[in-house]
Structure 1
Amino acid sequence: MENVTVVEHPLVQHKLTIMRNKDTSTASFRRLLQEIAHLLCYEVTRDLETEMIEIDTPIQKMQSPALKGKKLVFASILRAGNGLLEGMLDLVPSARVSHIGLYRDPETLEAIEYYFKAPSDIADRLVVVVDPMLATANSAVTAVDRIKRRGANNLRFLCLLAAPEGIKRFQEAHPDVPIYTAAIDEKLNEKGYIVPGLGDAGDRMYGTR
């Protein structure tokens, strides 16, 4: 699929297999999600621009690469997005954070917003929107709509699992936003869950039903 990057690193796939297992504990699921977030973050930030700066090593002065421009924004779709967010902040602790609170109407499956907070200068930054599951894509599309209305124009979407239906819907709405994922699964079921998937990521992270 165009504009979709599947991160096929063996460590990502191994950890994802453990997360899919229904017998994996809440604590293990949460830890694995954070570990996978580290690996996915490397991929989504692979082409960040750098510039040479002068530093003093213990031996001598040198020119060395450093990130150029303003810090990133990680935009977490609540609540499950925070599982990826925490791992990504381990690698980029200086990143700004946006939160988008959305819940899925159980009847229509449409995303309904209940909270939004973002940096005021988001238009000047690369924004990585994170949510473990790209299923119907209703939440992802709504979140990116909201961030674009704030002025963001350089965005990427990062998820753990994606369904073909969700990718199609997202790309129809936001063809300019590349998708990064660890796997593309078979389909959605009648309830809008990814098959074979791993269940509800939020429930498995927090031990809720």
Structure 2
Amino acid sequence: MTVHNLSQTNSILNRFLHQIRDETIQTDRMKFRRNIERIGEILSYEMSKTLNFESRSFQTPLSSARFNELTENIVVCSILRAGIPLHNGVLNYFDEADNAFVSAFRKKTTTSEEDFEIVVEYLASPGLEGKTLVLVDPMLATGLSMLNVLKALKKLGKPKSIHILSVIGAQPGVDLIQDYLPENAHLWIGDIDKKLNDKGYIIPGLGDAGDLAYGQKL
């Protein structure tokens, strides 16, 4: 898997990353969701440079002309619920893509906050055989959610290629999925932090993206 860490190059992305991390700014839910959406647009633009295009002709009011048209059959799959703003950002650029949705959540196995398993409970997706799978999840923490989702999607066919779009990740989670995915897969990510805390949250990270976007869950 090829890792594209966009924070390594200075761009307006750094401003949006700061705003979703800063505890004095991130509590504005509408701004938080919009910034995640913006980051999804930037990740999509960068990813688009690696996709396949074909030259096509068309007519302007004055003459004929040509343009390069995207030829990939894309399926955008988001992990609910935190993935929705990022999913919307991707759809702003790949507006003709098919869509898939999957739920993956942490289920406690004991009374301890540190002990949990990832449960995939809901999956709605078209077939993936020969298509370009774009899997979006804002936080790539332990990598277990992503890994379980990828395993659940296997029954829907083998994609031609896999692109994972994430806002912030932790190095252990990146390492986990890198060992699982093939060499021709790509991870497009805003920034990578070094570690997780004992509850499996990214440090320094930003907190719980789903709660910040939509409010606390039960």
What TM-score do the two structures reach when normalised by structure 1?
Answer: 0.93
Distance in 2 separating the partners of 1:133 and 1:69:
26
Please state whether the residue corresponding to 1:10 is helix, strand or coil. Answer: coil
Distance in 1 separating the partners of 2:80 and 2:169:
17
Q: CA deviation at 1:148?
A: 2.5
Distance in 2 separating the partners of 1:23 and 1:13:
17
Contact between 1:140 and 1:170, CA under 8 Å: does it hold in 2? yes
Gaps of 5+ in 2: 110-114
Q: Does 1:112 align with 2:112?
A: no
Q: CA deviation at 1:191?
A: 0.2
Alpha carbons of structure 1 residues 172 and 119: separation in structure 2 relative to 1, 3 Å: same
What TM-score do the two structures reach when normalised by structure 2?
Answer: 0.89
Aligned 1:177-192 pairs, distance under 5 A:
177-192=185-200
Please state whether the residue corresponding to 1:158 is helix, strand or coil. Answer: strand
Contact between 2:107 and 2:117, CA under 8 Å: does it hold in 1? yes
1:5 equivalent in structure 2: 4
1:82 equivalent in structure 2: 84
Greater per-residue strand proportion: 2
Gaps of 5+ in 1: none
| RMSD of aligned Cα (Å) | 1.5
Contact between 2:40 and 2:165, CA under 8 Å: does it hold in 1? no
Distance in 1 separating the partners of 2:167 and 2:182:
19
Give the letter for the 1:19 counterpart. Answer: I
Q: More deviation in 77-86 or 7-16?
A: 7-16
Please state whether the residue corresponding to 1:199 is helix, strand or coil. Answer: coil
Alpha carbons of structure 1 residues 175 and 189: separation in structure 2 relative to 1, 3 Å: farther
Alpha carbons of structure 1 residues 160 and 68: separation in structure 2 relative to 1, 3 Å: same
Q: CA deviation at 1:78?
A: 0.9
1:19 equivalent in structure 2: 20
Aligned 1:157-176 pairs, distance under 5 A:
157-176=164-183
Count of aligned residue pairs for this structure pair: 206
Contact between 2:72 and 2:132, CA under 8 Å: does it hold in 1? no
Aligned 1:41-190 pairs, distance under 5 A:
41-70=44-73, 72-107=74-109, 108-120=115-127, 122-153=128-159, 154-176=161-183, 177-190=185-198
CA-to-partner distance for each residue in 1:90-141, whole Å, 9 max, x for gaps?
A: 1111110011111112343321011001113x21210110000110001000
Please state whether the residue corresponding to 1:182 is helix, strand or coil. Answer: strand
2:210 equivalent in structure 1: 202
% identity of equivalent residues: 32
User: Which residue of the other structure, out of 14, 31, 34, is the alignment partner of 1:31?
Assistant: 34
Distance in 1 separating the partners of 2:24 and 2:187:
29
Please state whether the residue corresponding to 1:80 is helix, strand or coil. Answer: coil
CA-to-partner distance for each residue in 1:52-95, whole Å, 9 max, x for gaps?
A: 1121011111222111243x111101111111001111111111
Alpha carbons of structure 1 residues 22 and 106: separation in structure 2 relative to 1, 3 Å: farther
Q: CA deviation at 1:5?
A: 0.5
Q: CA deviation at 1:175?
A: 3.8
